[in-house]
Amino acid sequence: MTDADARPHPRHEAIRVVDHPLITHNLTRIRDRDTPSQRFRELVGQVGALLAYEATRDLNLTPVQVHTPLERCEGAQLNQPISIVPILRAGLGFADSIHRLIPDAQVGHIGMFRDEKRLTPVPYYQKTPPAIADGPVLLVDPMLATGGSAAAAIDLLRSCGCRDIRFICLIAASEGVAKLAAHAPGVPIYTAAIDRQLDKNGYILPGLGDAGDRIYGTA
């Protein structure tokens, strides 16, 4: 993928819609209501890893030397601790595949669900790695709807001292993009799609339905 494949969006300078045929193909399967839970879970993980690939494109490297079986070789390695923080539950659908991409990353968890009437986030769990503030944090959740959950999770990470926070989602609603543009303009958003609007229950249109329910078969 090149930078040209990660387009900015007029409503948020720091949003990147990652445009790639594999992402478009898999996102279409993910949206399809006939895709069964196991396949849905696999596809969400695969697209999450592709989005993380783009979100980590500018990570800092330090030069190192290694010895191949034949001779000395100049190389480079990541020089900061990287953290992956899924917002439970649906964020777990991204966490394992991104962790496989960055096996040395540390993983934190933020538990949050939306109050169904008010559509406001209700936090219920938090566990962050001790060195989380020392490097980039990939905050991951497939759905950005009103943006309330992502904004609350960003506040929580900032209260831990995190400065380099990157939000990765599968689908962003325009309302959520606008909310994060106002609340956290310095936090880049990496997404596979920006969808039209929310319905009266706060679901993204066209969206994919309830991500957590489809991942875990709880619908």
Taking CB under 6 A as the rule, does residue 151 contact ligand URA? no
> At closest approach, how far in Å is the CB of 194 from ligand PRP?
13
Total number of residues binding ligand PRP (CB under 6 A)?
24
Eight-class DSSP state of 168: E
- Tokens 């649906």 — which residue? 90
Q: Tell me the C-alpha to C-alpha distance, in Å, between residue 188 and each of 55, 168, 175, 176.
A: 9, 8, 16, 13
Closest CB to ligand URA among residues 145, 189: 145
Q: Among 5, 19, 96, 210, indicate the residue that binds ligand URA (CB under 6 A).
A: 210
Task: Please pick, from the candidates 49, 119, 133, 160, the single residue that binds ligand PRP as defined by CB under 6 A.
Answer: 119
Task: Work out which of 20, 89, 109, 158 binds ligand PRP, going by CB under 6 A.
Answer: 89
Alpha carbon dihedral 203, 204, 210, 214, in 10-degree steps, equals 160
| Among ligand PRP, ligand URA, none, partner that 48 touches (CB below 5 to 8 angstroms by kind) | none
Distance from the Cα of residue 171 to its chain's centroid: 10
Count of residues that bind ligand URA according to CB under 6 A: 10
The yes or no reply on residue 143 touching ligand URA (CB under 6 A) is yes
**137 interacts with, out of ligand PRP, ligand URA, none, CB within 5 to 8 A per kind:** none
Give the separation between CA 4 and CA 9, rounded to whole angstroms: 13
Residue 35 in the binding site for ligand URA (CB under 6 A):
no
147 interacts with ligand PRP by CB under 6 A: yes
User: Across the strands, what pairs with 171?
Assistant: 143, 193
In DSSP terms, 107 is beta-bridged to 84
User: Side-chain half-sphere of 127: how many Cα atoms within 13 Å?
Assistant: 6
Separation of alpha carbons 160 and 148, rounded Å: 19
Per DSSP, 175 falls in state H
Q: Which of 90, 98, 107, 138 binds ligand PRP (CB under 6 A)?
A: 90
Residue 191 near ligand PRP by CB under 6 A? no
Q: What DSSP string runs through 82-98? A: -EEEEEETTTHHHHHHH
53: contact with ligand URA by CB under 6 A: no
Residues within the interface to ligand URA (CB under 6 A): 90, 143, 145, 202-204, 207, 210-212
Residues within the interface to ligand PRP (CB under 6 A): 87-90, 112-114, 119, 121, 141-150, 176, 202, 210-212
